[in-house]
Structure 1
Amino acid sequence: MPPKQTSPAKTGYLVLYNAVSAAAWSSVLYHTVAIAASQGPRYVHPGIGQWTKWTQTAAALEILHSLFGIVRAPLLTTLMQVASRLLLVWGIVHPFPAVALSSDFYTSMLVAWSVTEVIRYSFFALGLLGWQPRLLTWLRYNTFFVLYPLGISSECALIYQAAVGPAGEVSDPYKWGLYAVLAAYVPGAFTLYTYMMKQRRKVMRGLQYKEKKDAQ
C-alpha cells in the first residue's frame, strides 16, 4: 500500500504554524538576551514577560495537533511538556510576578525555552518544505543535553520559590499542589529525556548512513 499523502492544506497550515512560532520565539530569545545583557536579568520579565506568556499559550495548539493526528508526536509527551510550561506562565509567573522579578531563574528558563523552540520550529518548518540542513538536524537532536537540564532546573526553582513564598500565603492546597508538581518532574523529565534519546539515536543513525552513502 502506498504511503498516505499529506494534503497541501495540512502541510501549508503546519508550515505557517511552525514558521510563526519560530519567529515568535526568536523575538523572545533576542529580547531576553538583550535586556539581560543591557539592564540585568531582573528586567527581563517586565520587558518580554507578556509576549512570552502568549507565545507559550499558543503552543497549546500542539496538544490538539497530536490529539487529532495532525502530527505524529506522542500525545502524553506533548501534554506533559506543554502543560508544565503553561503552569509556569499562568500558575506561577502570572499570579506571582515577584517570583520572576526577584530570580535569575526566569531568565535562564526563557533562554532554554527560546533556543529550544527556535531550533525545533525551524527544523519542522524547513522539513515540511523538503529541506533539512544537517547543522539544524544536529542542533535539534543534541542541544537538549544542555537545554533540558537548564530549562527543567530553572522551572523547578521558580515553582519551589512560589511554593515556599506567595503560593503558600494564598492557600495550603496551592502550596502542596506545587510540591506535588515538583515531585512529578522526576518521572516527567525521565520520560522526555528517554523520548528524545530514542529520537536522537534514530535520526543520527540516518545521518551517518546518508553520509556514508554520499561518500561512496
Structure 2
Amino acid sequence: MDATTDRKPVPQQRPLKPLRSNSPKTQYLIIYNFASAVLWTAVLGRVLLLVPLVGFGRAYQGVGVFTKWTQTMALLEVVHAATGIVRAPISTTAMQVASRLLLVWGVVNNFPFLAKSAAYSSMLVAWSVTEVIRYSYFTFTLSGFQPGFISWLRYNTFFILYPLGISSECWLIFKAIKPARAVRQEYAWILQLILFIYIPGSYILFTHMMAQRRKVMRGKSVQKAR
C-alpha cells in the first residue's frame, strides 16, 4: 500500500538553521535518502524504457530483480522508525513496507507470469514516482533546503499515484489467489485475508497522507500571512 511518512516541513527555498548537518545520524539519513532516490529513479527509467520497447509482458525480465532488492532496502525504514532515528509512526511505516514486500516477494516473485499484466508496470510507475519525490524531499530537507516544487509534488501527487498503486496491487494479489491455491490452500487464504485488509488499510494510509498534507498546507498559509 502506498503512503509515506513525514518529518516537519521547513521554510520554502531558505537555508535552515543548522540541522546538525555534521552529526553522523543526519549524514547517514542524507546518504540513505539520496541513494534511495537514485535507485527508484533507475526503476522508473527502466520501466519507461522497457514497456514501449518490449511491452508489458517482458518488463519483469528487465526490472523485476532490481525492484525486489530496491524495495527490500526499505526495511531500514522500519528500523529507523522503531529506533527513533526518524520521527515516523512505526505502524504506517511497517504497513507500507510489509505490503510492498508481499507484492515483490510473496506474489510476483513466486508467480512471475503475473508481471506480464499491465498492473505490474503501473504499480512500479506509481511506486517509483512516489519514492523519487519522497526521497528527494527528505534529502533536500535534511540538507537544509526545500524547493517549493518538491514540496508541492510531495503533498499533491498522491491523489493520483495512491489510487493507481493500490488498484494495481489489489489486482495482482487477486490474480495470485488461484495459483497460490495450487501451491497450498493456506497460501490462498492468506492472500484473500490480505486483500480484505486492504480496504481499511488503504483508508488508514490515505487519511494519514491527508492529515500530513493539511498540516503542511496550514503551515504554508501561516508563513504567507506573515
Other-structure match for 2:166: 152
Q: CA deviation at 1:6?
A: 7.7
What are the ranges of 5 or more consecutive residues in structure 1 without an aligned counterpart?
A: none
Change (3 A) 1:34 1:5: closer
Paired-residue identity, %: 54
Q: Equivalents in 2 of 1:168, 1:6: separation in Å?
A: 52
Q: CA deviation at 1:210?
A: 2.2
Q: Equivalents in 2 of 1:34, 1:97: separation in Å?
A: 20
Task: Answer yes or no: is 1:75 the counterpart of 2:95.
Answer: no
Other-structure match for 1:43: 58
Other-structure match for 1:124: 138
Q: Which runs of 4+ in 1 moved over 4 A?
A: 4-7
SS in 1 for 2:145: coil
CA displacement 1:99-137 (0-9 Å, x = unmatched): 112x11000000000000000000001100011111100
CA displacement 1:36-92 (0-9 Å, x = unmatched): 122211121001110000000000100000000001110000000000000001100
Other-structure match for 2:14: none
TM-score, normalising length: structure 2: 0.89
Other-structure match for 1:137: 151
Give the superposed CA RMSD: 1.3
Q: Equivalents in 2 of 1:161, 1:46: separation in Å?
A: 19
Other-structure match for 1:15: 30
Other-structure match for 2:121: 107
Q: CA deviation at 1:7?
A: 6.6
Other-structure match for 1:30: 45
Matches of residues 50-65 of structure 1 in structure 2 within 5 Å? 50-65=65-80
Q: Equivalents in 2 of 1:17, 1:148: separation in Å?
A: 23
Change (3 A) 1:123 1:58: same
Task: Choose which of 191, 197, 202 in structure 2 pairs with 1:184.
Answer: 197
Q: Equivalents in 1 of 2:169, 2:84: separation in Å?
A: 29
TM-score, normalising length: structure 1: 0.93
Moved more, 143-152 or 201-210: 201-210
Aligned-partner residue type, residue 57 of structure 1: T
Other-structure match for 1:93: 108
Aligned-partner residue type, residue 201 of structure 2: G
Task: Answer yes or no: is 1:84 the counterpart of 2:84.
Answer: no
Q: CA deviation at 1:208?
A: 2.4
Larger RCO, structure (CA 8 Å, separation 6 or more): 2
Aligned-partner residue type, residue 169 of structure 1: A
